[in-house]
Chain A
Amino acid sequence: MREVIDIRDKEAELKALVGEILQEAQHRGASSAEVSVTQDTGLSVTVRKGELETVEFNQDRSFGITVYFGQSKGSASTSDSSHAAIQDTVSRASDIARYTQDDPCHGLADPDLMPTVLPKLDLFHPMDLDTQKATELAEACEAEGLGYDERVTNSDGAQVNTQQSCRVYGNSHGFIGSYLATRHGISCMLIAEDANGMQRDYWYTVNRDFDALDAPEAVGRTAAERAVARLSPQKVATGTFPVLFSAQMAAGLVGHLLGAISGGALYRKSSFLLDSLNTQVLSEHVSLVEEPHLPKRLGSAAFDGEGVATWDKAFIDRGVVEHYVLSSYSGRKLGLPTTGNAGGVHNLTLSGATQTFDDLLKTLGTGLYVTELMGQGANGVTGDYSRGASGFWVENGEICYPVDEITIASNLRQMYLDVVAVGDDIDERSNVRTPSVLIGAMTVAGR
Chain B
Amino acid sequence: MSDLVAETQQQLLVPAGIEHSDVEAVMGKLVGGAIDLGEVFFQNYKSESWSLEDGIVKEGSFSVDRGVGVRAISGEKTGFAYAEDIQLPALARATEAARSIARLGGDQRVKAWQRNTPVPKYPSVDPIPSLSGEEKVALLARVDIAARRADNRVQEVNVRLAASHESILVMATDGTLSADVRPLVRMDVSVIVAEGDRRERGFAGGGGRRSLTTFSDDWAEALAREAVRTALVNLEAVDAPAGPMVVVLGPGWPGVLLHEAVGHGLEGDFNRKGSSAFANRIGEKVASPLCTVVDDGTLLNRRGSLTVDDEGTPTCATVLIEDGILKGYMQDKLNAKLMGVQPTGNGRRQSYAYLPMPRMTNTFMQAGDHDPEEIIASCDKGIYAVNFGGGQVDITSGRFVFSTTEAYLIEKGKVGRPIRGATLIGNGPEVMTKVSMVGNDLELDEGVGVCGKDGQTVPVGVGQPTLKIDEVTVGGTQT
Q: Which residues of A contact B (CB under 8 A)?
A: 1-2, 48, 51-62, 73-80, 82, 85, 88-89, 92-93, 95-103, 106, 131, 154, 156, 191, 197-200, 235, 238-240, 268-270, 374-377, 379, 381-382, 384, 386-388, 390, 404-411, 443-447
User: 10 A–B contact pairs at CB < 8 A?
Assistant: A54-B77, A76-B62, A96-B62, A101-B57, A238-B242, A374-B400, A377-B401, A381-B199, A384-B420, A407-B425
Stretch of B94-102, B222-230, B296-304, B363-371 that contacts chain A:
B94-102
Question: Interface size of B by Cβ–Cβ distance < 8 Å?
Answer: 82
Chain B minimum-CB-distance residue to A230: B397
Chain B minimum-CB-distance residue to A101: B56
> What CA separation (Å) do A77 and B277 show in the bound complex?
42
> What CA separation (Å) do A209 and B79 show in the bound complex?
26
Once the chains bind, are A269 and B100 in contact (CB under 8 Å)? no
Contact of B277 (CB < 8 Å), options: A76, A198, A376: A198
Once the chains bind, are B275 and A60 in contact (CB under 8 Å)? no
> What CA separation (Å) do A382 and B97 show in the bound complex?
51
**A54-B78, A197-B277, A445-B475 known; A76+B63 contact, CB < 8 A:** yes
**Ranked 8 nearest A-B pairs via Cβ:** A407-B475, A388-B401, A99-B133, A375-B401, A96-B60, A445-B242, A75-B61, A101-B56
- Which residues of chain A are within 8 angstroms of B100 by Cβ–Cβ distance? 1-2, 55, 131
Once the chains bind, are A374 and B85 in contact (CB under 8 Å)? no
Once the chains bind, are B401 and A270 in contact (CB under 8 Å)? no
Which residues of chain B (50-83) have a CB below 8 Å from chain A?
A: 50, 53-54, 56-67, 76-83
Once the chains bind, are A154 and B475 in contact (CB under 8 Å)? no
Which residues of chain B (150-207) have a CB below 8 Å from chain A?
A: 155-156, 158, 192, 194, 198-201
Chain A minimum-CB-distance residue to B83: A59
Interface mask (B229-262 → A, CB under 8 Å = 1, otherwise 0): 0000000000010111000000000000000000
Interface mask (B8-36 → A, CB under 8 Å = 1, otherwise 0): 00000000000000000000000000000
Contact of A386 (CB < 8 Å), options: B59, B79, B421: B421
Which residues of chain B (126-157) have a CB below 8 Å from chain A?
A: 133-134, 136-137, 155-156
- Which residues of chain B are within 8 angstroms of A200 by Cβ–Cβ distance? 275, 394, 396-397
> What CA separation (Å) do A137 and B58 show in the bound complex?
50
For residue B389, CB closer than 8 A to chain A, the reply is yes
- Which residues of chain A are within 8 angstroms of B201 by Cβ–Cβ distance? 270, 379, 381
> What CA separation (Å) do A56 and B277 show in the bound complex?
28
Once the chains bind, are B192 and A270 in contact (CB under 8 Å)? yes
**A73-B59, A375-B392, A376-B390 known; A80+B64 contact, CB < 8 A:** yes
B335 to chain A, nearest CB (A): 13
Contact of A269 (CB < 8 Å), options: B56, B65, B198, B199: B199
> What CA separation (Å) do A61 and B158 show in the bound complex?
31
A47 to chain B, nearest CB (A): 10
> What CA separation (Å) do A98 and B137 show in the bound complex?
11
> What CA separation (Å) do A345 and B463 show in the bound complex?
39
Chain A minimum-CB-distance residue to B454: A156
> What CA separation (Å) do A405 and B158 show in the bound complex?
36
**A77-B61, A375-B402 known; A445+B192 contact, CB < 8 A:** no
For residue B479, CB closer than 8 A to chain A, the reply is yes
> What CA separation (Å) do A95 and B155 show in the bound complex?
31
Once the chains bind, are B65 and A100 in contact (CB under 8 Å)? no
Contact of B62 (CB < 8 Å), options: A59, A93, A198: A93
- Which residues of chain B are within 8 angstroms of A411 by Cβ–Cβ distance? 477
Contact of A78 (CB < 8 Å), options: B60, B65, B243: B65
Most A-side CB within 10 Å, residue of B96, B200, B401: B401
Once the chains bind, are B60 and A74 in contact (CB under 8 Å)? yes
> What CA separation (Å) do A154 and B280 show in the bound complex?
14
Once the chains bind, are B84 and A387 in contact (CB under 8 Å)? no
- Which residues of chain A are within 8 angstroms of B400 by Cβ–Cβ distance? 374, 388
Which residues of chain B (386-410) have a CB below 8 Å from chain A?
A: 389-392, 394, 396-403
B148 to chain A, nearest CB (A): 14
- Which residues of chain B are within 8 angstroms of A197 by Cβ–Cβ distance? 277, 397-398
Chain A minimum-CB-distance residue to B474: A445
For residue B426, CB closer than 8 A to chain A, the reply is yes
For residue B427, CB closer than 8 A to chain A, the reply is yes
For residue B274, CB closer than 8 A to chain A, the reply is yes
Most A-side CB within 10 Å, residue of B62, B201, B392: B62
A54 to chain B, nearest CB (A): 5
B128 to chain A, nearest CB (A): 10
For residue B350, CB closer than 8 A to chain A, the reply is no
Supply 12 further A-B pairs (C-beta < 8 A) apart from A156-B275, A384-B420: A58-B82, A77-B61, A77-B62, A79-B85, A80-B84, A89-B64, A93-B61, A96-B62, A268-B53, A270-B156, A377-B475, A410-B477
> What CA separation (Å) do A79 and B397 show in the bound complex?
40
For residue B476, CB closer than 8 A to chain A, the reply is yes
- Which residues of chain B are within 8 angstroms of A198 by Cβ–Cβ distance? 275, 277, 396-397
For residue B116, CB closer than 8 A to chain A, the reply is no
- Which residues of chain A are within 8 angstroms of B392 by Cβ–Cβ distance? 374-376, 388
- Which residues of chain A are within 8 angstroms of B396 by Cβ–Cβ distance? 191, 198-200
Once the chains bind, are A80 and B391 in contact (CB under 8 Å)? no
A82 to chain B, nearest CB (A): 7
B144 to chain A, nearest CB (A): 12
Once the chains bind, are A239 and B240 in contact (CB under 8 Å)? no
- Which residues of chain B are within 8 angstroms of A55 by Cβ–Cβ distance? 77-80, 100-101
> What CA separation (Å) do A80 and B64 show in the bound complex?
8
Once the chains bind, are B62 and A269 in contact (CB under 8 Å)? no
B121 to chain A, nearest CB (A): 27
> What CA separation (Å) do A260 and B98 show in the bound complex?
45
- Which residues of chain A are within 8 angstroms of B54 by Cβ–Cβ distance? 103
Once the chains bind, are A376 and B61 in contact (CB under 8 Å)? no
> What CA separation (Å) do A446 and B475 show in the bound complex?
8
- Which residues of chain B are within 8 angstroms of A88 by Cβ–Cβ distance? 64
B456 to chain A, nearest CB (A): 12
Once the chains bind, are B423 and A60 in contact (CB under 8 Å)? no
- Which residues of chain B are within 8 angstroms of A99 by Cβ–Cβ distance? 57, 60, 133-134, 136-137
> What CA separation (Å) do A4 and B133 show in the bound complex?
43
For residue B353, CB closer than 8 A to chain A, the reply is yes
Most A-side CB within 10 Å, residue of B94, B133, B155, B423: B423
Contact of A445 (CB < 8 Å), options: B81, B155, B275, B476: B476
